[in-house]
Amino acid sequence: MFSFSLHQVKGPNIGLLGFSKGGDLCLSMASFLKGITATVLINSCVANTITPLHYKDMTIPSLGNDLGKHTITESGLMDCVNIWNNPLEEPDHRSLIPLEKAQGPFLFIVGKDDHNWKSEFYAHIASAWLQAHGKDRPQIIYYPGAGHCIDPPYFPPRIASVHAFLGQAMFFGGEPGAHSKAQVDAWQQIQTFFHKHLDGKKSVKHSKI
């Protein structure tokens, strides 16, 4: 269980917000830990990635990949959208996170021009998986023209950057204008979702620069 030692933390409800690899970690937390009320995933995978996940006497292997399937853009950046195996197929099916065990609702934020991995495909998997297990359909918000790195509003769009794990300059996708608009709207959607499920409020103030 969680302990609230900071006065800024109201409790008792707990919300999780995860991006990229942090998203599948949040999915795992929501699936295995008690007290998680609502979870937001930004361009996240529904399978465990990068390294095996160990929890108590259980291990979830990492989703397989083939770096040989990467491409190089005209600017010399790595594009890795096609390197990841399909988590619905064997043997990678074992890497799927049992999100049907989660108690609270999900919000998936999806950039349709994500070039890190197939976030839209993963959100579809999550929706079908939850409904197949008698759970509510998750909320999914799609942003055409948005890439992988949907940061808070007014952060410069990260169309490309050095990947923390691979150490290579990566193309993450996104058209600057559409991506920037997605960052503003997603921030509002995330706040609305958390206010609704954590404290019962339905509206929030709009972001202003």
Domain annotation covers residue 5: no
Mean of pLDDT values over 7-19: 81
pLDDT at 116: 95
Write the pLDDT tens digit of every residue in 126-165.
999 999 999 999 999 999 999 999 999 999 999 998 887 7
Q: How would residue 202 be classed by pLDDT, with cut points 50, 70 and 90? A: low
Determine the number of helices (DSSP H) and then strands (DSSP E) in the chain.
3, 10
Report d(CA 183, CA 92) in Å as an integer.
Answer: 32
**pLDDT above 90 for 118:** yes
pTM of the model: 0.90
Provide the annotated active-site residues: 20, 114, 148
CATH number at residue 186: 3.40.50.1820
Domain annotation covers residue 7: no
Domain annotation covers residue 8: no
Question: Quick one: which of 110, 115, 123 has its CA closest to 159?
Answer: 115
pLDDT, the chain, mean: 91
Write the pLDDT tens digit of every residue in 95-105.
999 999 999 99
Domain that holds residue 87: 14-199
How many domains, the chain? 1
Report d(CA 208, CA 188) in Å as an integer.
Answer: 11
Report d(CA 153, CA 94) in Å as an integer.
Answer: 36
Q: How would residue 187 be classed by pLDDT, with cut points 50, 70 and 90? A: very high
pLDDT at 168: 86
Domain annotation covers residue 4: no
**pLDDT above 90 for 81:** yes
Question: Quick one: which of 94, 92, 78 has its CA closest to 165?
Answer: 78
Q: How far, CA to CA in Å, does 163 sit from each of 8, 81, 160?
A: 33, 13, 9
Helices (H), the chain: 21-32, 119-132, 176-194
pLDDT at 12: 76
Question: Quick one: which of 49, 40, 19 has its CA closest to 150?
Answer: 19
pLDDT at 1: 43
Mean of pLDDT values over 114-133: 97
Task: Show the tokens assigned to 61.
Answer: 């292997």
Write the pLDDT tens digit of every residue in 25-70.
999 999 999 989 999 999 999 999 999 999 999 999 999 999 999 9
Domain annotation covers residue 163: yes
